[in-house]
Amino acid sequence: MGFLTLCVFLGTSLADDWNKSTTVEFNEPVRIGDMVLNAGGYVLKLAPLASERHIIQVFSAESGRLILTTIAVAKYRTEVTPNTEFQFWEGIRGQAVALRSWFYPNENYGLELPEPAVGFVGPERPPSGSQPAGGPIERLPREANGQWLRFESSESARGPVVPGPPLSQTHPADLAGRWQQLGGFREKRVIAVGVSHPSDYRLTLQFASKDATDVARALSDPNVGRIQPDPNHIHLLVDAQATRAGIEREILNIGSQASRRDLTLVFMSVHGIEDVSTGRRYLSTFNTNIDNLPDTAFDMASFVTLLESHIAGQIVLITDVCLGSTAQGTTTKGLIVRRGFIDAEMADRTIVLSSSAPNEDSYESPRFQNSFFTHFFLHAVSQLGGFLDLNGIYSYVLRFVPDAVWTESGHSQHPMMYPPHVATRIVIGAPEEK
């Protein structure tokens, strides 16, 4: 598929150089990420994250509402232009063209979105309040055979975001064979940790234990995660089971069985605590004592080292946890993985998917009865019957979590993955190799 240039009306402001704010008027429908925007006015910006400059947000120019969030990659051009430049992938006749690249005036580096490819089924309707100025949003997921499906969004009142049917209902055999050809893992295991009711009431969370339970259930589902549903492969620790000693024991237990051809997923839904006197950050456990963090909690900077020193093979650490302060007593769910922690400690075989970006909080949802991140993570792992790769899972939560959090609370929350763009062949739901 080639690309073409489409004429659009643009407006930029030099005062917005940092977030690259660009006002654009599309005279025909345009696909950005997994959405088709009707003709109308929009504002494109980079997400307000100093550590991640590849996340694009699109707002309604009329109402200022956030419509979508998507991730891109850096693209270089040898010659700059004084005006904003968009390029578009050449589309199929009768369908909207897809945005390929976006360059800000007088800059060599811009952003590029992937060529439309086999994707996932999004919710049948977006969160309330996320309609673009031009009207309803049309989602264009594509089946494994390359044929586009059409889903028209609803303009009904706020309600739960309902996932569409897995594409595996129509192509289960083809998908399974395709991922087996990529090479799977000999065995897969999960440690799912959730602490809603710790011994210290100040660290109470509403849905953390349910988050861990729901994740363990989905990953052991024979039609989704396909992890063997026995105590040697599913290690669920909630509340009183999730002491520091209990978590360490399960890590050692898995370490005694895992080989270099295995996959281990570690899901953490707990509180994070920052000791402002030392600057050190900790993962809480059931028996964490805020007055004695080194002995009752896990130091964040050494947690990955602990995992890798005992567990062979590929490790995926999924963190839906909070980062509170011992001085301020913060209790909102938020990020554990700050950039300094990730850059310093990650090894090649560990991938971290975290619920929010540096300096953001994460939030729980009474409507979903889970955290926002876990709710959409569970939807993501069920896409394509479990055959969506880790990059696709990240794209899914990055697309839907910010919109849902913004709609319900007016706050910003952007999931992050590190290292980025390396997890294409990690398919959580792929069958184990025989």
Instruction: Check residue 346 and give its pLDDT.
Output: 45
Residues 265 and 145 in one domain: no
323 found inside a domain: yes
78 found inside a domain: yes
189 found inside a domain: yes
For the whole model, what pTM was predicted? Answer: 0.64
431 found inside a domain: no
Residues 335 and 233 in one domain: yes
Residue ending a domain, choose from 140, 164, 188: 164
Instruction: Check residue 424 and give its pLDDT.
Output: 56
Residues 185 and 149 in one domain: no
Quickly count: other Cβ atoms within 10 Å of residue 216's Cβ: 25
Residues 40 and 112 in one domain: yes
Domain hosting residue 43, numbered range: 3-164
429 found inside a domain: no
359 found inside a domain: yes
Instruction: Check residue 8 and give its pLDDT.
Output: 52
Residues 153 and 248 in one domain: no
Residues 343 and 206 in one domain: yes
Q: Are strands 188-194 and 263-269 parallel, antiparallel or unpaired?
A: parallel
pLDDT of the chain along its 434 residues, tens only? 444 444 455 544 443 677 888 888 888 888 887 788 888 889 999 887 665 677 888 988 888 888 888 888 778 888 888 888 888 887 666 678 889 899 988 888 888 888 765 443 333 333 333 333 333 333 333 333 322 222 222 222 223 333 333 333 323 344 444 444 444 788 999 999 999 999 998 888 999 999 999 999 999 999 999 999 999 999 999 999 999 999 999 999 999 999 989 999 999 999 878 787 887 888 899 999 988 899 999 988 788 889 999 999 989 999 998 654 333 333 344 333 333 334 334 445 788 888 887 667 788 999 899 999 999 999 989 877 788 888 888 888 888 888 888 888 888 888 888 776 555 578 888 888 76
331 found inside a domain: yes
Residues 187 and 262 in one domain: yes
Residues 147 and 215 in one domain: no
CATH (domain of 323): 3.40.50.1460
Instruction: Check residue 256 and give its pLDDT.
Output: 93
Residue ending a domain, choose from 138, 164, 190: 164
Instruction: Check residue 66 and give its pLDDT.
Output: 83
Instruction: Check residue 296 and give its pLDDT.
Output: 93
Residues 153 and 191 in one domain: no
Q: How many domains does the chain have?
A: 2
432 found inside a domain: no
Residues 139 and 194 in one domain: no
Residue ending a domain, choose from 134, 164, 194: 164
Residues 101 and 208 in one domain: no
Residues 210 and 150 in one domain: no
